[in-house]
Amino acid sequence: MKLHLTINGKARTLEIAPNALLLDVLRAAGCKSVKKGCGEGSCGACAVLINGRPRNSCLVFAAQCEGADILTVEGMGTPEHPHPLQEAFIKHGATQCGYCNPGSLIAAKALLDRNPSPTVEDVKEALDGNLCRCTGYVKRIEAVLDAASLGKK
Partner 1 sequence: MPTTEKSRKKAPARPAQGGTSATPARPASLRKTSATHSPKASAQAPAKPPARSAGRAPANAPHQPPAPSGAKAPVKSKVQAAVKPADKAPAKAATRQTPAQPRGKKVSGKTPSQVPDKATVKTAAQATTKAVAKKAASAKGEAPKATTPFVAKTPAKPVRKKTPAKVTPAPQTRAQQTSQPSTPTAAPKVVEKVVEKIVEKVVEKVREPSPIPQYPLTYERPDHFHVVNHSRYKLDGMSLVTGAPKFTADIDLPGMLHIKVLGSPHAHARILDIDTSEALKVPGVVAVYTWKDVPRVAHTTAGQGYPEPSPYDTFLLDSKVRFVGDRVAIVAAETPEAAAEGCRKIRVNYHVLEPVFDPTQARRPGAPIIHDEPDCKAPLPIFYDPKHNHCAHVETKVGDVAMGFQEADVVRERTYYSHYAQHCPIEPHVCVSYLDENDRLVLRSSTQVPFHARRITAQTLGIPLRKIRVIKPRIGGGFGAKQEVLLEDVCALVTLRTRRPAKWELTRAEEFMAARTRHPMIITIKAGAKKDGTITALSMKIVSNTGAYGSHALTVVSNCGSKVLPLYKIKTIEFVGDTVYTNLPVAGAYRGYGATQAAFAVESMMDELAEAIGMDAVAFRQMNHIREGETSPIFKALGEGREGVSMVIKSCGLAECITRGMKEIGWAEKRGRGRHAPGPRKRGVGMCCLMQGSSIPEIDMGSVFIKMNEDGSFNMLLGATDLGTGSDTILAQIAAETLGCQHDDIIVYSSDTDFTPFDVGAYASSTTYLSGGAVINAARQVRAQILAVAASMLNEPVDDLTIENRVVYGKGRKNKLTFAQICTFAMYEYHQFQIAAVGSHVTHASPPPFSAHFAEVEVDTETGQVKVLKYVAGVDCGTAINPQLADGQTQGGLLNGISFALTEEYIFDDKGRMLNPNFKHYKIFSTADLPEIVTFLVPTYEPTGPYGAKSVSEICINGPMPAIANAIYDAIGVRLTQPPFTPEKVLAAIKEARTAKK
Partner 2 sequence: MLKNLTHVHRPSTIEEACALLAAPDCKNIALAGGTYLAESSDTTIQGLVDLSGLDLNFIRETSEGYAIGAMTPVQDIFKSKLLKGATGHLLKAAAGRIGSTLLRHSITAGGNLVSVFPWSDLPPALLALDAEVQIRKGIPKRTVPVATLLEKTPREFLDKSELVTEIHVPAYGATTGTSFTKFAKTANDYSLITVAIRITVLQGLIRDVRIALSGCTKKPVRRPEAEALLKGQTPTPERLANAAARAAQNLDLTNDFRASKEYRSEILPVLIRRGIEDALRQIAA
Q: Give how far the C-alpha of residue 96 lies from the chain's centroid of Cα atoms, to the nearest Å.
A: 17
Q: Number of helices and strands (H, E) in the chain?
A: 5, 5
Query: Does residue 86 come out as left (phi exceeding 0), alpha (psi in the -120 to 50 range) or beta?
Result: alpha
Q: 61-80 mask for partner 2 (x: CB under 8 A)?
A: x-xx-x--------------
The verdict on 18 binding partner 2 (CB under 8 A) reads: yes
Q: Tell me the helix, strand and coil percentages in the chain, rounded to 5.
A: 40, 15, 45
Of 48, 9, 44, nearest to 25 by C-alpha is 48
User: Quick one: what does residue 84 bind among partner 1, ligand FAD, partner 2, none, with the CB cut-off 5 to 8 Å set by partner type?
Assistant: none
Least gap, CB of 90 to partner 1 (angstroms):
4
Least gap, CB of 114 to ligand FAD (angstroms):
21
User: Quick one: what does residue 55 bind among partner 2, partner 1, ligand FAD, none, with the CB cut-off 5 to 8 Å set by partner type?
Assistant: partner 2
Interacting residues toward partner 2 by CB under 8 A: 1, 18-19, 21, 40-42, 44, 47, 53-56, 58-61, 63-64, 66, 107, 110, 125-130
